[in-house]
Amino acid sequence: MANKLRKVLLITPPYHSGVVESAGVWLNVAFVYIAGSLRAAGYDPEIYDAMSHWHTYEDIEKRIIASKPDVVATTAFTAEIVDALKVLKMAKTINRSIVTVIGNVHPTFCYDELLKENGDTLDFVVRGEGEETLVDLLNALNDGGDLQKVRGIAFNRDGKLAVTPSRPNICDLDKLPMAWDLIDWDIYTYKPMKDSVLAIVSSSRGCNQACTFCSQQLFWERGWRGRSPENFVGELEHLRDTYGVNVVMLSDETPTLDRKRWEKILDLLIERRVGTKLLMETRVDDILRDEDIMWKYRDALVDHIYVGVEATSQETLDKFNKNIEVEQSKKALKLINEHDIVSETSFVLGMPDDTVESMRNTVELAKFYNPDLAFFLAIAPWPYSEIYPSLKEYVAVTDYSRYNLVEPVIKPKNMTLDQVFDELGRASREFYMWKMHNLDSMSEKKRDFMVKVVNIIANDSYLSKCMKGSMPEDVKNMLKELKARGVHV
């Protein structure tokens, strides 16, 4: 039977907070998988990254009208949900017969609230991984099948909420088709790297940790699956040869979880001379485990590693259920630095017991850790996170669009929201000015990187307001002296 619903427009909501956008323009790799699966099933997918294009709602309206889709699907973490719903409402306004679908973390856990409040514009919620679910849903709609048999969805039926059983996670990630040819490659760049073409690639899915503030371990049900080293490295070569990709950000939470698999990946990257820089995150304990092969990280062109430190006190780390100790974080960052790999971490602030003094102490302890990059983020109480019940009484902001790690939404017992915001800005200013004072102790590679990054932070990021005009004269003089000595800054 020919599909009645055939054309699927995948749209990213035009949400911006500036956190990740400071460093580059990042594609939505989930849509590459979704589009690949749709196309393999006979559908006609189109990827429209309205967010990365910085398009307005007027632009989005024109695109929907021009594309004439049968289905509009979007995605949303918590801070994006307001804009995502606006996109679906617009689609229904343009054509009531368009089927609207939403997926990702927030809809997976808050589907009841979304369908109850937006039943006139939202048709279906995809819960969990979407590749198989969205195909099954569209097949059922086209064939007049029983929607209750489509695992992993939620929808309204006869004025009541219908929720089907969860779908098991996909076991063999190597078999998933991808649609890299649908990507507008010209817009994806990594700002600190000249002439960069940036891809987001997934080498694994899942997280087996239990951090109480995080959504990922809940979304993946604390499971983990990895692609084979050969499949993953082959994809990097394909992206390099076909689209000129020379820098890749891994979307994985813990790409290094399986030591044997990860070391094989590093070996293949070195042996095949893939030449693609890798930006990644992983856990402190995996870095400590891999102390003896950190040279392979470097030789495989792992260029940037983020490890989640989150807090500088053991008490707070224990509340977050991080399963690491303060000294372990210090050692992991030291190992990364010793191999001339850019080190990054973040500190979650604005907890109920925080004070001006405790937040300023965190900055001093961040200097003790000595990462190249440190970001001081406001705790965001995702409504489905394990830590939410203990934070609920301190929630001062209910607008989900502000749950972006930049704007405080939790009011500490002894601080105002404005004070928290000011201290977050002060923390960044203080830390990066300290890094600038220590430029002459860094390698040439890191000096060059730090100067570029501080310029981006000060002029083109969510931190620009608190950074502008704050570079002291002695730091400016230091830069002049470094230039006079022939140092590339």
Q: pLDDT tens digits, residue range 178-201?
A: 999 999 999 999 999 999 999 999
Residue 210: the pLDDT is 52
Bridge partners, 249 (sequence order) = 200, 279
pLDDT over 50 (residue 115): yes
Q: Report DSSP letters for 276-303, one per residue.
A: -EEEEEE-HHHHHHTGGGHHHHHHTTEE
pLDDT over 50 (residue 3): yes
Position 475 in a domain: no
Of 61-70, 124-133, 384-393, the range with the lowest mean pLDDT is: 384-393
Q: Number of C-alpha atoms within 13 angstroms, CB side, residue 473?
A: 0
**185 and 153, same domain (yes or no):** no
Residue 225: the pLDDT is 82
**196 and 258, same domain (yes or no):** yes
pLDDT over 90 (residue 380): no
**192 and 158, same domain (yes or no):** no
Q: What does the alpha-carbon distance between residue 19 and residue 16 come to, in Å, rounded to a whole number? A: 8
**118 and 194, same domain (yes or no):** no
Q: What is the maximum span of the chain, computed from C-alpha positions, in angstroms?
A: 75
Residue 320: the pLDDT is 43
Residues 309-336 have a mean pLDDT of 68
Residues 451-473 have a mean pLDDT of 69
Position 489 in a domain: no
Position 206 in a domain: yes
Position 471 in a domain: no
Q: Report DSSP letters for 87-110, one per residue.
A: HHHHHHHH-TTSEEEEESHHHHHH
**155 and 198, same domain (yes or no):** no
Residue with the larger pLDDT of the pair 348 and 311: 348
Last residue of one domain, picked from the residues 110, 140, 163: 163
pLDDT over 70 (residue 332): yes
CATH number at residue 62: 3.40.50.280
Residues comprising the chain, all counted: 489
pLDDT over 90 (residue 308): no
Q: Do 101 and 71 contact (CB within 8 A), yes or no?
A: yes
Position 110 in a domain: yes
* Confidence label for 244 from pLDDT (cuts 50, 70 and 90): very high
**320 and 295, same domain (yes or no):** yes
Residues 279-296 have a mean pLDDT of 95
Residues 433-456 have a mean pLDDT of 88
Bridge partners, 206 (sequence order) = 224
Spatial CA neighbour of 453 closest among 342, 308, 347:
342
In whole angstroms, how far apart are CA 205 and each of 77, 173, 245? 17, 9, 22
Domain that includes residue 110, residue range = 7-163
Q: Do 74 and 27 contact (CB within 8 A), yes or no?
A: no
Position 461 in a domain: no
Q: Enter the tokens of residue 340.
A: 């001339």
pLDDT over 80 (residue 220): no
In whole angstroms, how far apart are CA 85 and each of 217, 218, 366, 400? 25, 23, 38, 12
The full 3-state SS of 397-428, as one line of letters, equals CCCHHHCCCCCCCECCCCCCHHHHHHHHHHHH
pLDDT above 90: percentage of residues in the chain: 69
Q: Enumerate residues 6+ apart whose C-beta is below 8 A from 329.
A: 284, 307, 309, 345, 369
Last residue of one domain, picked from the residues 405, 420, 440: 440
**362 and 414, same domain (yes or no):** yes
Position 464 in a domain: no
Residue with the larger pLDDT of the pair 368 and 206: 368
Q: Enumerate residues 6+ apart whose C-beta is below 8 A from 124.
A: 99, 100, 101, 102, 137, 153, 154, 155
Would the pTM count as exceeding 0.95? no
Spatial CA neighbour of 369 closest among 425, 325, 424:
325
Helices 417-437 and 473-484, interaxial angle, to 10°? 30
* Confidence label for 208 from pLDDT (cuts 50, 70 and 90): low
pLDDT in tens, 60-84: 999 999 999 999 999 998 899 999 9
* Confidence label for 484 from pLDDT (cuts 50, 70 and 90): low
**155 and 181, same domain (yes or no):** no
Q: Do 380 and 351 contact (CB within 8 A), yes or no?
A: no
Q: Average pLDDT of the chain? A: 89
The total number of structural domains that make up the chain: 2
**196 and 295, same domain (yes or no):** yes
**148 and 233, same domain (yes or no):** no
Q: Do 266 and 290 contact (CB within 8 A), yes or no?
A: no
Query: Residue 480, Cβ neighbours under 10 Å: how many?
Result: 11
**188 and 138, same domain (yes or no):** no
* Confidence label for 477 from pLDDT (cuts 50, 70 and 90): low
Residues 127-152 have a mean pLDDT of 96
pLDDT over 90 (residue 476): no
CATH number at residue 239: 3.80.30.20
**434 and 324, same domain (yes or no):** yes
pLDDT above 70: percentage of residues in the chain: 86
* Confidence label for 238 from pLDDT (cuts 50, 70 and 90): very high
Most confident of 35-49, 357-371, 461-475: 35-49
Position 38 in a domain: yes
Q: What does the alpha-carbon distance between residue 370 and residue 435 come to, in Å, rounded to a whole number? A: 9
Residues 365-390 have a mean pLDDT of 87
Q: Give the amino acid at 337.
A: N
